[in-house]
Amino acid sequence: MDIPPSDDPKTPLLPLDDPNQRSRIKFPSSLKSILTSNNFNILLGPLLSTIICLHVNLDGSLTTSRNMLAVLAWIFAWWLTEAVPMPITSMSPLFLFPLFGIASADDVAHSYMNDVIALVLGSFILALAVEHYNIHKRLALNITLVFCGDPLNPPLLLLGICGTAAFVSMWMHNVATAVMMMPVATGILRRFPTGPNQSVVVGKFCRAVVLGVLYSITIGGMSTLTGTGVNLILVGMWQSYFPEAAPVTFSTWFLFAFPSALLMFLALWALLCCLYCSRSSGQALSVYFDKAHLKEELEMLGPMAYAEKMVLALFSMLIVLWMTRSITEDIPGWGVLFKGLAGDGTVSVMIATLLFIVPSKKQKGEKLMDWDKCKKLPWNIILLLGAGLAIADGVRSSGLADILSESLDFLEAVPYLAMTPAVCLISSTITELITSNNATATLIVPLLIQIAKTMHVHPLLLMIPGGIGAQFAFLLPTATPSNTVGFATGHIEIQDMIKIGLPLKIAGIAVLSLLMPTLGNITFLISYQLSLTNFM
């Protein structure tokens, strides 16, 4: 029984030691408290880094290249094991890069607040506005009503959600699509219980939805030239290196890329249905998806209010500004008016600022957003993305990127039929480390052009697998910003991404290996052996 505290000021706050009582207390062994799996995972990062620094020699290259490889091993070991909280690991480049002589503290810090981070930050604020006014709930209810089936068919519902994300991504930037569609997906998932009350079937379906939206966005972006920056980089390099050759038009790209993306999308859907979302789960999930109840909820939302319309208008304005900043070389877009000084992050923050200026017309003086509503900003994800950008800069500045590109010289001796899978595999592997798909394409495509000249093959035969393969960033949350947005939902872990991402990456390589020599040959008029004079 606890002894009540005494009012006597001379009474000690803590009880005096009782030898008999102390003898009954068993203190854990200090050795056992140290030798835990978490502490081993913490030591794993520095240990791998030390081994690389002492025993790895990158063909006599600069010390910074080897040090960068050591830092990569340290950071990825902590990310994969989650020995240290991911946001803290994401800040580790701020001290690891200066300690290993890779970059100064100021240079690393710039990666944590640049135009890409500004784009994501502004997009997150806009996403919070969408969530605050239940716009995502309205869209989620409409999608659910159309695709849920009667009785509930979970694979069909998953197909509808993922198909919507892929279609939107064909015409919008992947980051913008992720910011818009992920709240829609989580709005559907909010119908389920969370925490200990969540069943295994419900948990699997939640992971299937988030993973499906995540990867559908990437796959949809491959279909059109405007879907992702990598496609525009590839076509721009084609026109720059071969100005006399026929240009790759929007329709030409679509004729090849859309069937490729469609096959990958079906492979993704089949994987998710097999591993996370079987048809037999419909009975367990149908409790939360009653059509009559869904219609009632949609009616309860009523007509769209002025504030909702304004948020949608600002969102639409942002999408248009993103798509028209730089269109083609002949149609430069509005960005030329500012001599290249304005970026996508510029308009993202500008539109986010307007949310704090435009009135909501709900209460006098109330704006569409205020700072209290922004307290839910996922700063941990912003730090994660900043770490990815810092790593990308470190890989390039340390010379490690050059070593990776020089190691591709062996492709000159690869047989033609093995060329597409080899190029795609290498490109899709590099993109996981360099983080930026655009950076990977910029790094690898010029090298592939040079190899194509040496091999006397059509350059597009290598450029397209290299460019599309650079978009197969499926394994890590830092591999691309849209992955980061999906990981922020908390419904998936890195293990889930690897479980689906690895077979999806293999499926993508197989699709390109099949279609490039067949459909690609027809679409781009590629012949296997062309004389150098035609293109070089």
110 domain residue, yes or no: no
Judged by average pLDDT, the poorest of 207-211, 273-277, 523-527 is 523-527
- Residue pair 483/210 in contact (Cβ under 8 Å)? The answer is no
Residue 453: how many CA atoms within 13 Å on its side-chain side?
Answer: 10
Confidence at residue 10, expressed as pLDDT on a 0 to 100 scale:
59
What six digits make up the tokens of 237? 């390099």
Confidence at residue 511, expressed as pLDDT on a 0 to 100 scale:
92
**Residues whose CB is less than 8 angstroms from the CB of residue 339 and which lie 6 or more positions away in sequence, other chains included:** none
The residue-averaged pLDDT of 405-413 equals: 65
Confidence at residue 528, expressed as pLDDT on a 0 to 100 scale:
38
In this predicted structure, the answer to whether residue 92 has a pLDDT above a threshold of 60 is yes
Q: How confident is the model at residue 532 (pLDDT cuts 50, 70, 90)?
A: very low
Dihedrals φ, ψ of 367, to 5°? -100, 170
Highest mean pLDDT among 97-106, 169-178, 251-260, 337-346: 97-106
Residue with tokens 């025993």: 55
The residue-averaged pLDDT of 15-37 equals: 58
36 domain residue, yes or no: no
33 domain residue, yes or no: no
In this predicted structure, the answer to whether residue 527 has a pLDDT above a threshold of 50 is no
Rounded-to-integer distance, Cα 201 and Cα 187, Å = 18
55 domain residue, yes or no: no
The residue-averaged pLDDT of 201-216 equals: 89
Residue type at position 493? E
Estimate the crossing angle of helix 250-275 against helix 229-241, to 10 degrees.
140
416 domain residue, yes or no: yes
362 domain residue, yes or no: yes
Q: Most distant CA pair in the chain: distance in Å? A: 101
- Collapsing DSSP states into helix, strand and coil, what is residue 367? strand
In this predicted structure, the answer to whether residue 533 has a pLDDT above a threshold of 50 is no
51 domain residue, yes or no: no
Confidence at residue 264, expressed as pLDDT on a 0 to 100 scale:
94
Rounded-to-integer distance, Cα 284 and Cα 106, Å = 53
Between 66 and 10, residue with greater pLDDT = 66
* Number of domains present in the structure of the chain: 1
The boundaries of the domain holding residue 382 are 115-531
The residue-averaged pLDDT of 487-509 equals: 88
Rounded-to-integer distance, Cα 424 and Cα 430, Å = 10
Confidence at residue 283, expressed as pLDDT on a 0 to 100 scale:
77
Judged by average pLDDT, the poorest of 56-60, 336-340, 474-478 is 56-60
Q: How confident is the model at residue 28 (pLDDT cuts 50, 70, 90)?
A: low
In this predicted structure, the answer to whether residue 94 has a pLDDT above a threshold of 90 is yes
Confidence at residue 340, expressed as pLDDT on a 0 to 100 scale:
75
pLDDT digits (tens, 9 = 90+) for 274-320: 988 877 777 777 777 767 777 777 788 888 889 999 998 998 888 78
- Residue pair 449/245 in contact (Cβ under 8 Å)? The answer is no
* Nearest Cα residue to 468 out of 248, 200, 164: 248
Strands annotated E in 59-164 = none
pLDDT digits (tens, 9 = 90+) for 107-147: 999 888 887 788 778 878 887 888 788 787 787 778 778 88
In this predicted structure, the answer to whether residue 503 has a pLDDT above a threshold of 90 is yes
In this predicted structure, the answer to whether residue 78 has a pLDDT above a threshold of 80 is yes
What six digits make up the tokens of 442? 């910029």
Residue 74: how many CA atoms within 13 Å on its side-chain side?
Answer: 26
If 0-12 CB within 10 Å is exposed, 13-18 middle and 19+ buried, where does residue 374 land? middle
Alpha-carbon torsion 412, 418, 424, 426, what sign? negative
H helix intervals, 133-226: 135-147, 154-169, 174-189, 200-221
- Per the DSSP assignment, residues forming a β-bridge with 359 are 367
515 domain residue, yes or no: yes
What six digits make up the tokens of 185? 């997906």
In this predicted structure, the answer to whether residue 454 has a pLDDT above a threshold of 50 is yes
Confidence at residue 348, expressed as pLDDT on a 0 to 100 scale:
86
Confidence at residue 120, expressed as pLDDT on a 0 to 100 scale:
77
Residue type at position 447? L
Task: Look at phi and psi of residue 181 and say left if phi exceeds 0, alpha if psi is from -120 to 50, else beta.
Answer: alpha
Long-range pairs for 106-110 at CB < 8 Å and ≥24 separation?
Answer: 107/393, 108/390, 108/393, 108/394
Q: How confident is the model at residue 488 (pLDDT cuts 50, 70, 90)?
A: confident
- Residue pair 181/164 in contact (Cβ under 8 Å)? The answer is yes
Confidence at residue 506, expressed as pLDDT on a 0 to 100 scale:
93
CB burial of 115-134 (b: ≥16 within 10 Å; e: otherwise) equals ebbbbbbbbbbbbbbbbbbe
Confidence at residue 531, expressed as pLDDT on a 0 to 100 scale:
37
The residue-averaged pLDDT of 357-372 equals: 89
The residue-averaged pLDDT of 72-89 equals: 85
Between 192 and 354, residue with greater pLDDT = 354
Q: How many Cβ atoms sit within 10 Å of the Cβ of residue 253?
A: 22
The residue-averaged pLDDT of 84-96 equals: 89
The four Cα atoms 391, 396, 400, 403 give a dihedral, to 10 degrees, of 150
Rounded-to-integer distance, Cα 389 and Cα 395, Å = 10
Rounded-to-integer distance, Cα 495 and Cα 379, Å = 22
Rounded-to-integer distance, Cα 156 and Cα 441, Å = 35
